[in-house]
């Protein structure tokens, strides 16, 4: 099954302007659809094309996958799989508790609370909270840790119900989720109704400036619908009754920005906002050229990665994958990497083990095999967790293991 008719231009989901395609990554499966080996027929494919709005500058996918196909009871991604990310979320939870959740009965809502990695700290502090996440499996894990969860999509409808039941929120937070939601007009209408007069809406997502710089084309997949900049977020905020009041660069997931919105005039706009807006206009993020040069670089990476893997295969050297990331679906299916080139992918996520990767059907196995695998070369799909992984896998390096990476260029270290 697939969504047909690839096109070069579509209307912008934010401002209605023209979105011009700059990269076509071909037909792609759902990035988190890890099937059982004997259940791979009738796989869903869609056209993965990405473009930039010539009006508001928002980078976005040209085709939307129905949300229920991606986010459901069996959604396999577990935020707590990385200790670095767990520490990152503990830190922001503590900051909210210390600086924003200080009234007599504060309330925080998280959109996309997943397995409770952030709200767990809030719950432990006894602060009123609610996670909203449509994926029931991850929600259950969160609930088992004392986190209150509403299994639902956050949008205007559900936000109005939350306000009616629980009142307005001091903080609305979303990590690696806001950029997943094509219908941001509805989410922002919901946030406007839910947020207290002096509240803040904070979200953090992969930053388009870092994606272009690092050539991390694998950040582009079904779930990542938007690729934000301060320029595009500022314009979107203004259009929906908010003001962009702060930005913070984050060194996680390959480079992100944490954006803070507030009701207009309620908070002082920080210098960091002005600085990032200036940096973006200086580096031409509002023009076509950096996106076109990114697309050319991506084509070169594809050719290089494929020929490197073919050469290694022809030399009889076994390559395994490390981290069955959602990102790896784009890499494997765009570059044509199957189990002939990568024998197996090792991953710590129970929900992915014993399954096969989307589209190319490479087996996913638990980490016990990695320690004994004879392969001296590991393709590091989870490159965004490289520091944590290399620290943990010192034994691999000690037995002559080498890491193969592909952004910003193909390298065998």
Candidates 11-19, 126-134, 194-202, 388-396 — which segment interacts with Zn ion by CB under 5 A? Answer: 11-19
Nearest approach, Cβ of residue 206 and ligand TMP (Å)? 10
Between residue 44 and residue 73, which ones bind Zn ion under the rule CB under 5 A?
Answer: 53, 55-56, 58
Q: Which of 331, 352, 340, 324 is nearest to 410 (CA)?
A: 331
What's the sign of the alpha-carbon dihedral 368, 412, 352, 216?
A: positive
User: How many residues at the interface with ligand SAM, by CB under 6 A?
Assistant: 20
Q: What is the pattern of x (binds ligand TMP, CB under 6 A) and - over residues 310-339?
A: -------------xxxx-------------
- What are φ and ψ of residue 219, in 5° steps? -75, -10
H or E element, residue 292: helix 289-314
Q: Out of ligand SAM, ligand TMP, Zn ion, none, which partner does residue 33 contact, by CB within 5 to 8 A per kind?
A: none
Nearest approach, Cβ of residue 338 and ligand TMP (Å)? 19
d(CA 13, CA 89): 30
Measured from the CB atom, the residue of 176 and 308 that comes closer to ligand SAM is 176
User: CA dist 31 to 35, 69, 177, Å?
Assistant: 11, 11, 15
Paired strand residues for 279: none
371-115-175-180 Cα dihedral, nearest 10 degrees? 90
- Look up tokens 């594809």; give the residue: 302
- What the block records as the tokens of 125 is 């502090």
Say whether residue 384 binds ligand SAM (CB under 6 A): no
Candidates 149-157, 210-218, 258-266, 358-366 — which segment interacts with ligand SAM by CB under 6 A? Answer: 149-157
Nearest approach, Cβ of residue 217 and ligand TMP (Å)? 14
Q: What is the pattern of x (binds ligand TMP, CB under 6 A) and - over residues 66-105?
A: ---------------xx-----------------------
- What are φ and ψ of residue 27, in 5° steps? -75, 130
Candidates 236-244, 280-288, 308-316, 382-390 — which segment interacts with ligand TMP by CB under 6 A? Answer: 382-390
Candidates 13-21, 126-134, 257-265, 307-315 — which segment interacts with Zn ion by CB under 5 A? Answer: 13-21
Q: Which of 363, 365, 367 is nearest to 392 (CA)?
A: 367
Q: Out of ligand TMP, Zn ion, ligand SAM, none, which partner does residue 154 contact, by CB within 5 to 8 A per kind?
A: ligand SAM
d(CA 143, CA 130): 11
Q: What is the pattern of x (binds ligand TMP, CB under 6 A) and - over residues 274-313?
A: ----------------------------------------
Candidates 11-19, 49-57, 128-136, 379-387 — which segment interacts with ligand SAM by CB under 6 A? Answer: 128-136
Q: What is the pattern of x (binds ligand SAM, CB under 6 A) and - over residues 167-186?
A: --------xxx--xx-----
Candidates 153-161, 179-187, 342-350, 397-405 — which segment interacts with ligand TMP by CB under 6 A? Answer: 342-350
Nearest approach, Cβ of residue 24 and ligand SAM (Å)? 24
Residue 266 C-alpha from the chain's centroid: 30
- The residue from 153, 203, 322, 334 that contacts ligand SAM (CB under 6 A) is 153
Say whether residue 225 binds ligand SAM (CB under 6 A): no
Measured from the CB atom, the residue of 136 and 269 that comes closer to ligand SAM is 136
Say whether residue 238 binds Zn ion (CB under 5 A): no
Say whether residue 219 binds ligand SAM (CB under 6 A): no
User: CA dist 336 to 27, 151, 302, 359, Å?
Assistant: 11, 36, 9, 10
Strands 319-322 and 256-262: unpaired
Q: Residues 6 or more apart from 208 whose CB is under 8 A from it? A: 59, 227, 228, 229, 232, 285
Nearest-5° Cα angle at 71, 66 to 74: 130
User: CA dist 394 to 80, 398, 399, 406, Å?
Assistant: 22, 6, 9, 21
Where along the sequence are the contacts to ligand TMP (CB under 6 A)? 81-82, 323-326, 347-349, 352, 382, 384-385, 388-389, 392
């Amino acid at each position: 099954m697939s969504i047909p008719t690839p096109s070069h231009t579509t209307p912008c989901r934010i401002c209605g302007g023209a979105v011009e395609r700059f990269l076509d990554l071909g037909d792609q499966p759902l990035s988190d659809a890890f099937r059982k080996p004997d259940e791979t027929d009738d796989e869903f494919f869609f056209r993965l094309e990405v473009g930039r709005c010539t009006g508001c500058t928002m980078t976005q996918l040209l085709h939307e996958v129905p949300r229920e196909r991606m986010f459901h009871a069996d959604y396999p991604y577990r935020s707590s799989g990385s200790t670095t990310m767990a520490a990152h979320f503990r830190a922001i939870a503590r900051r909210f508790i210390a600086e924003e959740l200080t009234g007599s009965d504060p309330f925080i809502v998280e959109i996309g609370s997943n397995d409770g990695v952030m709200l767990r700290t809030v719950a432990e502090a006894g602060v009123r909270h609610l996670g909203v996440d449509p994926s029931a499996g991850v929600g259950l894990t969160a609930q088992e840790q004392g986190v209150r969860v509403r299994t639902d999509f956050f949008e205007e409808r559900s936000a109005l119900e939350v306000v009616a039941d629980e009142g307005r929120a001091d903080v609305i937070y979303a990590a690696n989720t806001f950029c997943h939601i094509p219908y941001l007009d509805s989410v922002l209408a919901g946030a406007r109704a839910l947020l207290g007069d002096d509240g803040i809406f904070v979200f953090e997502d992969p930053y388009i400036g870092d994606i272009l710089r690092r050539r991390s084309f694998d950040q582009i997949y079904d779930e990542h619908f938007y690729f934000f900049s301060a320029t595009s977020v500022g314009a979107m905020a203004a259009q929906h009754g908010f003001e962009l009041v702060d930005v913070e660069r984050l060194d996680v997931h390959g480079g992100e920005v944490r954006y803070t919105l507030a009701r207009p005039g309620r908070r002082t706009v920080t210098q960091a906002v002005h600085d990032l807006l200036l940096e973006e206009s200086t580096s031409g993020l509002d023009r076509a050229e950096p996106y076109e040069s990114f697309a050319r670089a991506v084509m070169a990476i594809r050719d290089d990665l494929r020929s490197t893997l073919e050469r290694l295969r022809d030399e009889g050297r076994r390559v395994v994958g490390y981290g069955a990331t959602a990102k790896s679906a784009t890499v494997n299916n765009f570059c044509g990497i199957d189990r002939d080139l990568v024998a197996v992918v090792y991953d710590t996520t129970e929900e992915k083990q014993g399954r096969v990767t989307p589209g190319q059907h490479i087996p996913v196995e638990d980490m016990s095999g990695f320690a004994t695998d004879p392969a001296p070369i590991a393709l590091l799909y989870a490159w965004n967790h490289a520091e944590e992984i290399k620290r943990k896998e010192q034994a691999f390096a000690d037995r002559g293991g080498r890491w193969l990476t592909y952004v910003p260029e193909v390298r065998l270290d």
